[in-house]
Structure 1
C-alpha cells in the first residue's frame, strides 16, 4: 500500500471514530459528564504514556513541561481541550448532539478568523464570504429558535483557541497531548476521588460502566494517532475536506439515531453552513494548488541554476 493510500485510510479512520464517538458517550449518559471527562482524561494519559514508554520517548514528556512558561502554555491548551471534551460529552447527554456537530462545522471558519486576529493572516474574497455566511447561519438559528446555539459556539471557540495555542507549540502531537492530559490528571483524580468518597462513583459500580470508562482513553487517543499519521502523508487540502466527515457523522447520529428534532430553522442554518464550507473548501484547494505550483516552479528554477546544462539544449 502506498503512503498516500495508507494516509487516506488513517484519516478516514480518525474522522469516523470522532464522528461516531457520540454513540459511545450516549452509553455513559447516566453518569455525570464531569465524571466521564475525568475518566476520559485519566485513561487517555495512561494510554498515551504507555505508547511513549514503548517508543522510548518518555523523557520527551518531561522535557516538554520542564520550563514553567512551556508548562503554563500547555496547561492552557489542556484547559481548552478539556472544556471542548466536556461540552461534547454534555451535548450528548442533554440531546444537543446536532448543535455539537454545528460547532465542529463552524470550527474551520472560526480558525480562519483566528488566523486573521492572532497571526495577521489575510482572507480572500471567498473566505470572507464563507465567514459571513457562517455568521448569518448563527444569527438565523438564534432568531428562529429564540436562543443562541451556545453549545455550538462554545465548542467551536474552545477548539479554535486550542488550535491557536497549539500552533505556538513545537511539540509533536502525541507528546503534546500526553503533557496536556498529564497536567489535567490532578483535577481528574480529584473529581474521581470526590465521586468515590460520596458513594456515587460509576467506576467499579458495575462491570459495564467500568469497562466503558476505561475504553474512553483509547477512543480518545487512537484517532489522534491516526490523524497524526495521516497528516504526514496526505495533502493539507485533502485533510481539510475529509475532516468534514466528523461533524457529518455527528449530525447523522443526532438526527437518525438519537432522534433530535430538525426543523426549518435548522435546515436554513445548516444549509448556510454547508454552503460556507463548500466555498471555503474551493478557496482552500485553489490556494493549495497555487502554492504547489509556486513551489514546483521555484524548485525548477533552483535546479536550472545549479545545473545549467540540464535543459537538454547543451551538449554533455
Structure 2
C-alpha cells in the first residue's frame, strides 16, 4: 500500500475520535468499564465480520501471543487510564494531559528505523499542541482547578494514558508485518477484560433512552471500533509523524461537534486553535514531503518487539 494512501486512511481515525466525547456524553449513565466492554465487543465484531469476508483467519494463527498481549494491553490500558483519570480529576485538564500523546508520537517517531525527526516536525507539533491547549485550557481559566489528592492522582493517570497510547502507536509501527485483522482480537480481548473488571467494581447500568442506546452503538462502531483498524493501517504503512501532528485536530473537531450539538459554546479560542492546529499540521506535512536533512536524530537498525 502506498504511504500516502495509508496516511489518508489513518486520518479517518482522527475524524472518528472527534466524535468520542459526543457519543460518550450521549451514552450516559453507563459506567466506564461497562462502556469499554460493550463498545469493544462491537468493535471486535466489526473485525470478525471483515475477517470472515476476506478469509483472514489463517493469517491470525501465525501471530505470536506476545503481539496479542501487546495490542490488548494497549487498548485496555489506555481506556482504563483515560476513564479513571476523568473520574478523579477535572475533565478538561485531565483531557489536555492525556492529549499529549500526539506530541509524544511525533517526538518518539524519530527513534524508529528509517524515520528522521525534522525541526519542522517539532515546531509543527508545538504549534498544534498550543491549539489543543487553547481548546481545553480555556475552560480552566473560567472555572479554575481544585488541587486535591484525587486530582493529582488523576493527572498522573492522564499522563500515563498519553504515554500508553503514544507507545502503542510507535510500537505498532515496528509490527508492520502483523495484519490489521489482529486488531479484532485486541478489541475482543479488551472487551472480556473490561467486562470482568466491570463485574468486580461497578454496578451495571444501561442507557435509559433510545438516544443513549444509539450513542452506545455508534461509539462501538466508530471511535471505539473502526477507528482502531484505520489507525493501525496509518501508523504501520503511512507517515506516522504527520499523523501524530494532525491528531491535534481531534480535540478541535470534538469541540466543534459539541458546539453543533448545543453542549458547548463557541468563542475566539476555536478560531485561534484552528489556525494553530492547521499550521502545525502543514509544517509537519512540509517536513515529511521535503525530507530535509536537518534531523535532530535518526534511528539505526530495526529491533523486534521484546
Q: For this structure pair, what is the TM-score category when the shorter chain's length is used for normalisation?
A: 0.5 to 0.7
Distance in 1 of aligned mates of 2:167 and 2:83: 19
The answer as to 2:263 corresponding to 1:258 is: yes
Q: Check whether the contact 1:203–1:213 (CA below 8 A) recurs between aligned residues.
A: no
Q: Check whether the contact 2:7–2:238 (CA below 8 A) recurs between aligned residues.
A: yes
Q: State the Cα distance separating 1:262 from its structure 2 match.
A: 8.7
The answer as to 2:44 corresponding to 1:45 is: yes
Quote the residue 1:202 is aligned against: 205
The answer as to 2:100 corresponding to 1:106 is: yes
Quote the residue 1:63 is aligned against: 62
Q: Check whether the contact 2:14–2:247 (CA below 8 A) recurs between aligned residues.
A: yes
Q: Check whether the contact 1:20–1:253 (CA below 8 A) recurs between aligned residues.
A: yes
1 or 2 for the larger relative contact order (CA 8 Å, sep ≥6)? 2
Distance in 1 of aligned mates of 2:192 and 2:15: 31
SS of 2:30 mapped into structure 1: coil
Root mean square deviation, CA, Å: 5.0
Q: State the Cα distance separating 1:100 from its structure 2 match.
A: 6.6
Q: Check whether the contact 1:97–1:254 (CA below 8 A) recurs between aligned residues.
A: no
Q: 2:70 aligns with which of 56, 72, 76?
A: 76
Quote the residue 1:302 is aligned against: none
Q: Check whether the contact 1:11–1:227 (CA below 8 A) recurs between aligned residues.
A: yes
In structure 2, the gaps of 5 or more residues are 293-306
The 10-residue stretch of structure 1 (171-180 or 219-228) with the greater mean CA deviation from structure 2:
219-228
Quote the residue 2:283 is aligned against: 282
Give the alignment's TM-score, normalised by structure 2.
0.63
In the TM superposition, what are the counterparts of 1:130-141 in structure 2 within 5 Å? Answer: none
The 10-residue stretch of structure 1 (6-15 or 28-37) with the greater mean CA deviation from structure 2:
6-15
Distance in 1 of aligned mates of 2:237 and 2:168: 24
Q: Check whether the contact 2:121–2:241 (CA below 8 A) recurs between aligned residues.
A: no
In the TM superposition, what are the counterparts of 1:216-231 in structure 2 within 5 Å? Answer: 216-219=219-222, 220-225=224-229
Q: State the Cα distance separating 1:32 from its structure 2 match.
A: 1.3
SS of 1:111 mapped into structure 2: helix
Q: Check whether the contact 2:33–2:195 (CA below 8 A) recurs between aligned residues.
A: no
Q: State the Cα distance separating 1:153 from its structure 2 match.
A: 3.3
1:86–1:152: structure 2 CA closer, same or farther, 3 Å change rule? same
Distance in 1 of aligned mates of 2:51 and 2:239: 27
The 10-residue stretch of structure 1 (227-236 or 22-31) with the greater mean CA deviation from structure 2:
227-236
Q: 1:168 aligns with which of 163, 174, 189?
A: 174
Q: Which has the larger radius of gyration?
A: 1
Give the alignment's TM-score, normalised by structure 1.
0.62
1:74–1:240: structure 2 CA closer, same or farther, 3 Å change rule? same
The 10-residue stretch of structure 1 (10-19 or 87-96) with the greater mean CA deviation from structure 2:
87-96
Q: Check whether the contact 2:41–2:220 (CA below 8 A) recurs between aligned residues.
A: yes
Q: Check whether the contact 2:172–2:235 (CA below 8 A) recurs between aligned residues.
A: no
Distance in 2 of aligned mates of 1:194 and 1:12: 36
1:88–1:281: structure 2 CA closer, same or farther, 3 Å change rule? farther
In structure 1, the gaps of 5 or more residues are 292-316
SS of 1:174 mapped into structure 2: coil
Distance in 2 of aligned mates of 1:228 and 1:73: 13
Q: Check whether the contact 1:18–1:223 (CA below 8 A) recurs between aligned residues.
A: yes
1:203–1:174: structure 2 CA closer, same or farther, 3 Å change rule? farther
Greater fraction of residues in helix: 1
1:62–1:184: structure 2 CA closer, same or farther, 3 Å change rule? farther
Distance in 1 of aligned mates of 2:251 and 2:186: 24
Distance in 2 of aligned mates of 1:231 and 1:166: 7
